[in-house]
Chains A and B, each alone.
Chain A
Amino acid sequence: EAGVAQSPRYKIIEKRQSVAFWCNPISGHATLYWYQQILGQGPKLLIQFQNNGVVDDSQLPKDRFSAERLKGVDSTLKIQPAKLEDSAVYLCASSSLTDPYGYTFGSGTRLTVV
């Protein structure tokens, strides 16, 4: 079974620029998550999708972050404009409705804002 795919692996941008990350979950996984992991901390949930609907985006800084999952499969996370404190690893994970503990994480995108 293919894992959760994320791209790019690394991204360096200047502050105030925009950036987008892409995630392709495991086939058949209805639930998709984006987490932000700042260096030295645990991952923090940004947004949770079930199919193409948002279940929880309470910790997403909506003034600059947006995410979509239009067809209920792939997802993109965008930051516009980026701030220095957005430097982190952005992790995507997916799970099936029948196995909520069967989380699979992607390798993440490491963002550096300079």
Chain B
Amino acid sequence: AQSVAQPEDQVNVAEGNPLTVKCTYSVSGNPYLFWYVQYPNRGLQFLLKYITGDNLVKGSYGFEAEFNKSQTSFHLKKPSALVSDSALYFCAVRVWTNAGKSTFGDGTTLTVKP
């Protein structure tokens, strides 16, 4: 069975500081990893994904994430947070043998304070 853990329900950072939102996963086989963001009263929006290759992937709005196979992690990062980054972030995993099913974490609420 595949699973995703987001160990922090809430992350608070000051504007201009770096941010990290943590994600760990468990799958059988090679994972495909995704980050989505949900703003209030909006649908989930895709941010970035890791499929293969370079462990550091870059995505929308200046976000990036680092895949670490030994630690089974895929943490989301941004060098300098903006107040507008405040939202709910979800990590998700898929495997090619079960390609239709994404398993999501329970989300992390990011609050960036001015």
Please indicate whether A and B come from the same complex rather than being unrelated chains. Answer: no
